């Protein structure tokens, strides 16, 4: 980490929002103590792109929560097949019209309703699998960095192994063995993505371990576990939060990719990746079949990515260091 940030000629920080400007309301200079969290939130709130993205995310969440309402409004169930008016005389999907706003799929089901229900799966997997990833990663990283020695070596090797495994292949293999399901998808994603989090946390903890406040806590009689979780953990949360916000869209994409490869939730569960997979044979005749689920997926991940970008800028106005998150699924 270089320290002479003030001398750089290229503008504030690494080009992102500068440290919050001194606020001098009406000439009255008031010094106000703000926690780093409050500062970050303030910066984030001022980031228009991040706020718009947050609004989009909230919309997607609402769509997921109120999926039954969408179904009730259209009068179409998510798995209901409308073979009469939902399919053309040749048995092909029907394009967007007054009854089916986003058209129908190959079985005459309402794509709009299925997208609404599919949002539930994407968000659920995205949030739960990310949470699992972060919890495992933080605990392993904390223990490895704090305890050190043999435990650290062992855990570091484990991290190496997990990072050396071809993630998507092993994930496919696991799912093919256990059978597809919501829990399996979450566990598979969680158990292979934690290693990068552990690496980041470990690095931070190693530098924090020797600091005075840890020494102070110890002299007050605090045990290792207490020091780790009460004293050290809050100090590594900022990078973890940044990483988490960037991880969610990757997890959503991974889940969609697994579904696309036919390893997602078993049909007829509506799932964006699975819907696109079903649409691949129809993309030449029924564009809407690919377009709307694809658009839903793209808008959601884009919103999460832009928001995560804002979160990173808010916590680390310096710039892009450490911005690389494990690649998703290509």
Partner 1 sequence: MTRFLVRRVGQGVVVLWLITMAVFALFYIAPNNVARTLAGRQATPETIALVAHRLGLDQPIWKQYLLFVWRALHGDLGYDYYHQVPVTTILGAAIPVTGSLVLGAAVIWVALGVTNGVVSAVRPRSATDRSLTVFSLFFYSMPTFLLGLVLLYGLYFQLTLRGITVFPAGGYVPLAGGAWPWVQHLVLPWFTLALVQAATYTRLTRGSMLDVLGEDYVRTARSKGIGERRVVVRHALRSALTPVVTQFGIDVAALLGGAVVTEQVFSLPGLGKTAVDAINQQDLPVIIGVVLLASTAVVLANIVVDALYAVLDPRVRLH
- As a whole number of Å, the CA-based R_g of the chain is 24
Q: Does the protein bind partner 1 through residue 266 (CB under 8 A)?
A: no
Tokens of 302: 């884009």
The span of 14-22, 37-45, 78-86, 129-137 binding partner 1 (CB under 8 A) equals: 14-22
Cis-peptide, bond into residue 220, ω within 30° of zero: no
Using an 8 Å Cβ cutoff, are 104 and 86 in contact?
yes
The candidate with the shortest Cα–Cα distance to 319, out of 19, 37, 68, 50, is 19
Q: Does the protein bind partner 1 through residue 153 (CB under 8 A)?
A: no
Q: Which is nearer to partner 1, 55 or 298 (CB)?
A: 298
CA distance 141 to 156: 9
Q: Does the protein bind partner 1 through residue 324 (CB under 8 A)?
A: yes
According to DSSP, the residues that pair with 110 across neighbouring strands are: 104
CB atoms within 10 A of CB 8: 13
Q: Does the protein bind partner 1 through residue 294 (CB under 8 A)?
A: yes
Q: Does the protein bind partner 1 through residue 136 (CB under 8 A)?
A: no
Pick the binder of partner 1 from 108, 244, 309, 314 (CB under 8 A): 309
Q: Please, which of residues 170-189 interact with partner 1 by CB under 8 A?
A: 170, 172-174, 176-178
Q: Does the protein bind partner 1 through residue 329 (CB under 8 A)?
A: yes
HEC string of 143-160 equals: HHHHHCHHHHHHHHHHHH
Instruction: List residues binding partner 1 (CB under 8 A).
Output: 2, 5, 7-11, 14-16, 157, 160-161, 163-170, 172-174, 176-178, 249, 253, 256-257, 260-261, 273, 276-277, 279-280, 283-284, 287, 290, 294, 297-298, 301-302, 304-306, 309, 319-321, 323-324, 327, 329-330
């Amino acid at each position: 980490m270089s320290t002479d940030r003030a001398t750089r000629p290229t503008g504030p920080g690494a080009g992102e929002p500068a440290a919050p400007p001194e606020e001098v309301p009406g000439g009255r200079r008031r010094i106000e103590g703000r926690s780093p969290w409050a500062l970050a939130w303030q910066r984030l709130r001022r980031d228009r792109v991040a706020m718009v993205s947050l609004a989009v995310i909230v919309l997607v969440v609402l769509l997921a929560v109120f999926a039954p309402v969408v179904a009730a409004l259209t009068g179409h169930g998510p798995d209901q097949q409308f073979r009469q008016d939902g399919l053309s005389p040749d048995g092909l999907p029907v394009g967007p019209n007054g009854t089916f706003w986003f058209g129908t799929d190959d079985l005459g089901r309402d794509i709009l309703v299925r997208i609404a229900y599919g949002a539930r799966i994407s968000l659920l997997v995205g949030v739960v699998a990310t949470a699992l990833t972060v919890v495992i990663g933080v605990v392993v990283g904390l223990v490895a960095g704090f305890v050190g020695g043999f435990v650290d070596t062992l855990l570091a090797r484990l991290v190496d192994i997990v990072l050396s495994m071809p993630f998507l292949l092993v994930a496919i293999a696991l799912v093919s063995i256990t059978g597809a399901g919501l829990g399996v998808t979450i566990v598979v994603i969680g158990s292979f993505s934690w290693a990068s989090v552990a690496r980041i946390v470990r690095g931070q903890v190693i530098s924090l371990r020797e600091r005075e406040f840890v020494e102070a806590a110890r002299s007050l009689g605090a045990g290792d576990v207490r020091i780790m979780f009460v004293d050290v953990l809050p100090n590594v949360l900022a990078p973890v939060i940044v990483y988490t916000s960037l991880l969610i869209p990757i997890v959503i994409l991974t889940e969609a990719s697994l579904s696309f490869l036919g390893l997602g939730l078993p049909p007829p569960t509506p799932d964006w990746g699975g819907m696109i997979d079903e649409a691949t044979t129809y993309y030449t005749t029924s564009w809407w079949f690919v377009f709307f689920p694809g658009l839903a997926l793209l808008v959601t991940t884009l919103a999460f990515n832009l928001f995560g970008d804002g979160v990173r800028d808010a916590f680390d106005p310096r710039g892009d260091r450490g911005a690389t998150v494990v690649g998703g699924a290509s």
